[in-house]
Structure 1
Amino acid sequence: MFKLSTLLLLATAAAVHAAIPSLSGYSVVWSDDFNGAQGTGVDTSKWVQIAKHPTDNGELETYTAGTGNVHLSGDGQLYIIPTKDSSGNWDSGRIESNAEFTAPTGGAMIFQAELWVPDFAGDPATTLGLWPAFWALGNRQRSSDCPWPKCGEWDIFETIPSLENNNVATLHYQLEDGTDVTLNGPGAKVAYSGNAYHTWAIKVDLRNSDWTQQTISFWLDGTNYHSVSGADINDQDIWSTLAWSDYYIILNVAVGGGYPGNPGSQTVSGYASSMRVEYVAVYQTD
């Protein structure tokens, strides 16, 4: 049962239900507007909710399978909520799309979501250790023949308190000699306003027949702020992994680990530390 304080928080923080926006020259091939009754779970025909304790990044949270950490708001949003129990243990939520998506040959594809996260610049002590993300993995990651990051990763929105209100668009992949590569650079960083809704997107554009001129680009509120071309990668096999392969979508809030650092005594648990998602959509050129 929701407590009165929780209901009041939901009412005051609620955003108007967002319809899936249309994009000129594109059709929506998959989407979720998270429109459903308050407190209910995600649509299992579209998402799988992961239940596990990750170990690779030294994260502290356990991802749970119930609605305590992942549920619909009742006003057309998804809430992913990190929570701390009386013993100091953290739970949180992670969902992954059941479907995977590939940019059409000679066309383009966009993954897009509208998200809210806390203000990481206002009072850093209250968000220490939080790690919200909207990202995608190469579908072969689901099987054992392609350990991370060999099959590719797109970090569309992934921020931590030390970045304050900045996002760093990132690609992960692996060289033939087994070297793991994290590709971002100074131009991949973009500022946004915390405690507000923003649209984040990645576009894979294969409309140039020359693979070196094809691009993977990152977008904030409809503005392109970073792009990577085949020429930048300079390896057709790796470009094939990054741009021509199928990817699935992930939404989660991690807590702790080597990248964000661990939470402190003032890190807020519950709705104030949640990631809220108005919609997720996949577009392809008509």
Structure 2
Amino acid sequence: MPSISTSLLVISLFLATASAAIPAMPGYHVGLGIDHSKWAQAVGPTGNNGELQVYTAGAGNVHLSGDGQLYIIPTKSGNTWYSGRIESMASQSCAAGGAMVFQAELWVPDFTGVPAKFAGLWPAFWTLGQNFRSGAGWPKCGEWDIFEVYNGLGTLNKGTIHFENPDGSRNDAFARLVNYAGGQYHTWAFKVDRRNPDWKQQKLTWYLDGTEYYSITGAQIGEFTQWTELAYNPYFVILNMAVGGDYPGYPTAQTIGGYDASLRVRYVAVYKTD
């Protein structure tokens, strides 16, 4: 990722002592990490997309390993799937004239190895606008999908945004697929860049392992109100493992849970310029 000669605030998923595991970004400095208690765990069914999982706060579905990694683990008991979802309590916005990066190093299983083995599993690293929490509703609140994979995509990650058009309809038109290798750790990042004073030249950019693979400008969105909702408003981080649903499809009798099917997180950080 191109460096920026300015300072940086880093917000870590883990304890402050784990901030050493967060990589430096050239031209930035690393600030103090946020304690794990700053993250909330969803509990119960969500009702979204017809998903099957019941989210729990139990260590069997979400826990930190001895090396500091976060595991989000789908499990099945009888006919019920359980899993985990965490959300940052704080939301982050990009300041005028600045840039901001949401970044995480993640591992998911190889969905191409034995397809039926992971059918219906849906790990994701994504965000929602803070105004979702105050009743704005979806998709008006805006959504950034940074990492979103499932069985049907095979070796592809889908980077996309969702937002509301001026007429109130949903806009899902901006998306790009990128190849990655499952069963390996990769760094996924999303940058909001407001350094250009012309909002039409400001950008949203997706990265895989430091390489840009997709970007959207304000000019492409076309409406200033929609651009402010996507690029100016504060957003909070979500990490979860959904199971089944109308999208991306349901698990089968062969779908496995447990560690081999987990979403593993080495770190999550938000980088900000001053």
Q: TM-score, normalised by structure 1?
A: 0.87
Whether 2:125 is the aligned partner of 1:123: answer no
2:8 matched residue in structure 1 = none
Task: Tell me by how many angstroms 1:26 deviates.
Answer: 3.1
2:157 matched residue in structure 1 = 167
Indicate how the Cα distance of structure 1 residues 29 and 178 shifts in structure 2: closer, same or farther if over 3 A, else same: farther
Amino acid at match of 2:43: A
Indicate how the Cα distance of structure 1 residues 129 and 246 shifts in structure 2: closer, same or farther if over 3 A, else same: same
1:242 matched residue in structure 2 = 230
Whether 2:126 is the aligned partner of 1:138: answer no
2:74 matched residue in structure 1 = 82
- Superposition pairs for residues 31-50 of structure 1, below 5 Å? 31=33, 43-44=36-37, 46-50=38-42
CA distances 1:235-279 after superposition (whole Å, capped 9, x unpaired): 000000000000000000000011110000110111111000000
CA distances 1:52-79 after superposition (whole Å, capped 9, x unpaired): 2011210000000221200011112000
Task: Tell me by how many angstroms 1:176 deviates.
Answer: 2.0
Write the distance in 1 (CA, Å) between the matches of 2:137 and 2:223.
20
Write the distance in 1 (CA, Å) between the matches of 2:222 and 2:32.
31
Amino acid at match of 2:170: D
2:26 matched residue in structure 1 = 24
Indicate how the Cα distance of structure 1 residues 31 and 110 shifts in structure 2: closer, same or farther if over 3 A, else same: farther
CA distances 1:55-110 after superposition (whole Å, capped 9, x unpaired): 1210000000221200011112000000001x221000000001110011101000
Indicate how the Cα distance of structure 1 residues 267 and 95 shifts in structure 2: closer, same or farther if over 3 A, else same: same
State the superposition RMSD in angstroms: 1.5
Write the distance in 2 (CA, Å) between the matches of 1:141 and 1:68.
29
Task: Tell me by how many angstroms 1:285 deviates.
Answer: 1.5
> Gaps (5+ residues) in structure 2?
1-18
Indicate how the Cα distance of structure 1 residues 277 and 159 shifts in structure 2: closer, same or farther if over 3 A, else same: same
- Assess if the C-alpha contact under 8 Å between 1:28 and 1:282 holds in 2: no
Percent identity of the aligned residues? 56
Secondary structure, aligned partner of 1:272:
helix
Write the distance in 1 (CA, Å) between the matches of 2:237 and 2:31.
14
**Residue of structure 2 aligned with 1:72, choices 64, 79, 92:** 64
Whether 2:267 is the aligned partner of 1:276: answer no
Amino acid at match of 2:173: L
2:95 matched residue in structure 1 = 104
Amino acid at match of 1:158: E
CA distances 1:127-156 after superposition (whole Å, capped 9, x unpaired): 000000000000011122x11010100000
Write the distance in 2 (CA, Å) between the matches of 1:175 and 1:140.
16
Query: When the two structures are aligned, how many residues end up with a matched partner?
Result: 256
Write the distance in 1 (CA, Å) between the matches of 2:33 and 2:199.
28
CA distances 1:135-190 after superposition (whole Å, capped 9, x unpaired): 0000011122x1101010000000111000211110000012110111334xx110
Write the distance in 2 (CA, Å) between the matches of 1:155 and 1:261.
18
> Gaps (5+ residues) in structure 1?
1-16, 33-41
Amino acid at match of 2:155: N
Secondary structure, aligned partner of 2:215:
strand
Secondary structure, aligned partner of 1:26:
coil
- Assess if the C-alpha contact under 8 Å between 1:200 and 1:219 holds in 2: yes
Secondary structure, aligned partner of 1:204:
strand
**Residue of structure 1 aligned with 2:147, choices 157, 166, 169:** 157
Write the distance in 2 (CA, Å) between the matches of 1:156 and 1:31.
21
Task: Tell me by how many angstroms 1:25 deviates.
Answer: 2.8
